[in-house]
């Protein structure tokens, strides 16, 4: 196997999607507590776009790999690997350095703590489209938010893969889901995913609509990847004692803290990433147990918006940046 080469996506400088290059590199053998996967599908995430731009939590060491989510078949195992064997169908969990282990490649080596079996009924494409979005939503709604039946949950930018996962998880717990989207073209899609109400932010005022929907009581939990000036509106749309969980920064504008509204309502405004879950062994096991049960019961099903080929990696990133997607963007190998 040492003579085997693999197509790998790397970038030698940060920038737009054109910096992504497909290169042939030797395939290494997995080290202790690592295994190697022959990749069949890759899930594309906003984090990888930000990493490529040099605007992410991790700074790329150039030339850098990238990618968090892949699914395929184990084709080699390192020493001390228990629980996985050659031939197992597996997918990767975002619990590693992208620069070190990035999974945009035909063959990838990953640490075993970041590997899970594929749900039995899921295809490789579906299995590459679950962990980033569902663990992110699980951590916010279940681990932190502790949502209960009948509670109102406001999910902004809800047509993203994480937004869709959040809708599905919230509905599985009996919550009332209010979703936002900018344009009219995604409203029906969000209703089909289970949203009870949809606010079109290009033409509707969030605060006024939330007051009408909730009879002036607001949302007990708000899950937001946008940040920026909208945070003040979200605080107004929150219930007394409500929680606002910020998990992204899609808006490049500064994010002013809504101090007086937070004081008046006793709000909790928390920054959050899924690494709070994936880097804690016990929390990650709890997340996997919770999610596998719902995958197997078909209460959670990843929505795949569009599939690209490996050679179309630049186009896949450009498509994500166009914000047209409704659900997950996937690469098929």
Per the structure block, which two tokens stand in for 246?
A: 């910020």
Residues 120 and 141 in one domain: no
Exposed / middle / buried, residue 232 (Cβ in 10 Å: 0-12, 13-18, 19+): middle
Residues 236 and 307 in one domain: no
Is position 69 within any domain? yes
Q: Give the separation between CA 235 and CA 209, rounded to whole angstroms.
A: 14
Is position 252 within any domain? yes
Is position 280 within any domain? no
Q: Is the pLDDT of residue 150 over 50?
A: yes
Q: Give the per-residue pLDDT at 60.
A: 96
Q: Is the pLDDT of residue 302 over 60?
A: yes
- Mean pLDDT of the 35-60 span: 95
Residue 212 pLDDT level (bands cut at 50, 70, 90) = very high
Residue 285 pLDDT level (bands cut at 50, 70, 90) = very high
Residues 93 and 137 in one domain: no
Classify the C-alpha dihedral 48-52-55-61 as positive or negative.
positive
Domain stops at, among 226, 260, 275: 275
206 in helix, strand or coil? helix
Average pLDDT score over the chain: 96
- Mean pLDDT of the 261-282 span: 97
Q: Give the per-residue pLDDT at 6.
A: 95
Is position 292 within any domain? no
Question: Read out DSSP for 123-172?
Answer: -HHHHTTSHHHHHHHHIIIIIIT---TT-EEEESSTTSHHHHHHHHHHHH
Residues 150 and 254 in one domain: yes
Residues 181 and 223 in one domain: yes
Q: Give the per-residue pLDDT at 198.
A: 97
Residues 199 and 214 in one domain: yes
Q: Give the per-residue pLDDT at 174.
A: 97
pTM, two decimal places = 0.94
CATH number of the domain where residue 125 is located: 3.90.180.10
Residues 124 and 139 in one domain: no
The structural domain count of the chain equals 2
Residues 169 and 121 in one domain: no
Reported in sequence order, the residue ranges of 192-283 that DSSP labels E, i.e. its strands, are 197-200, 219-224, 238-246, 268-271
Residues 109 and 160 in one domain: no
Residue 181 pLDDT level (bands cut at 50, 70, 90) = very high
Residue labelled with tokens 């899930």: 43
Domain that holds residue 123: 5-130+302-332
Residues 86 and 111 in one domain: yes
Q: Give the per-residue pLDDT at 4.
A: 87
- Mean pLDDT of the 268-289 span: 96
What is the percent of the chain where pLDDT is above 70?
A: 99
282 in helix, strand or coil? helix
Residues 21 and 98 in one domain: yes
More confident residue, 250 or 262: 262
Per the structure block, which two tokens stand in for 185?
A: 């073209």
pLDDT tens track for 61-103: 999 999 999 999 999 999 999 899 999 999 999 999 999 999 9
Is position 173 within any domain? yes
Q: Give the per-residue pLDDT at 3.
A: 73
Q: Give the separation between CA 140 and CA 147, rounded to whole angstroms.
A: 9
Measured distance between the N- and C-terminal CA atoms of the chain, rounded to whole angstroms: 20
- Mean pLDDT of the 157-176 span: 96
Exposed / middle / buried, residue 211 (Cβ in 10 Å: 0-12, 13-18, 19+): middle
Q: Give the per-residue pLDDT at 153.
A: 98
Residues 191 and 311 in one domain: no
CATH number of the domain where residue 233 is located: 3.40.50.720
Q: Give the per-residue pLDDT at 1.
A: 44
Closest CA to 168 of 190, 146, 186, 151: 190
CB 67 within 8 A of CB 104: yes
Residue 2 pLDDT level (bands cut at 50, 70, 90) = low
Closest CA to 263 of 231, 241, 245: 241
């Amino acid at each position: 196997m040492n003579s085997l080469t693999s197509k790998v996506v790397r970038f030698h400088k940060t920038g737009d999607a054109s910096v992504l290059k497909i290169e042939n590199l030797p395939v290494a053998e997995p080290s202790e507590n690592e295994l190697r996967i022959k990749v069949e599908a890759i899930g594309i995430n906003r984090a990888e776009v930000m990493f490529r731009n040099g605007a992410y939590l991790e700074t790329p060491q150039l030339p850098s790999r990238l990618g968090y989510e892949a699914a395929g078949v184990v084709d080699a195992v390192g020493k001390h690997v228990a629980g996985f064997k050659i031939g197992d169908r597996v997918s990767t969990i975002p619990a590693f350095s992208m620069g070190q282990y990035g999974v945009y490649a035909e063959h990838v080596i990953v640490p075993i703590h970041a590997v899970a079996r594929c749900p039995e009924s899921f295809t490789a494409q579906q299995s590459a489209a679950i962990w980033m979005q569902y663990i992110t939503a699980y951590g916010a709604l279940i681990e932190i938010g502790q949502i209960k039946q009948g509670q109102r949950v406001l999910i902004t930018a809800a047509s993203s893969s994480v937004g869709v996962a959040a809708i599905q998880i919230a509905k599985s717990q009996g919550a009332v889901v209010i979703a936002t989207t900018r344009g009219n073209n995604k409203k029906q899609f969000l209703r089909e995913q289970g949203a009870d109400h949809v606010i079109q932010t290009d033409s509707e005022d969030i605060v006024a609509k939330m007051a009408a929907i909730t009879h002036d009581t607001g949302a007990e939990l708000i899950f937001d990847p946008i940040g920026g000036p909208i945070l003040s509106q979200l605080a107004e749309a929150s219930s007394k004692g409500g929680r606002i969980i910020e998990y992204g920064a899609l808006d490049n504008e500064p994010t002013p803290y809504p101090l007086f509204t937070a004081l008046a309502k006793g709000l909790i405004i928390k920054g959050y990433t899924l690494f709070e879950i994936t880097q804690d062994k016990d929390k990650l096991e709890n997340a996997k147990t919770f999610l596998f049960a719902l995958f197997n019961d078909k209460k959670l099903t990843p929505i795949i918006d569009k599939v690209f080929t490996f050679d179309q990696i630049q186009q896949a990133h450009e498509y994500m940046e166009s914000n047209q997607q409704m659900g997950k963007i996937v690469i098929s190998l």
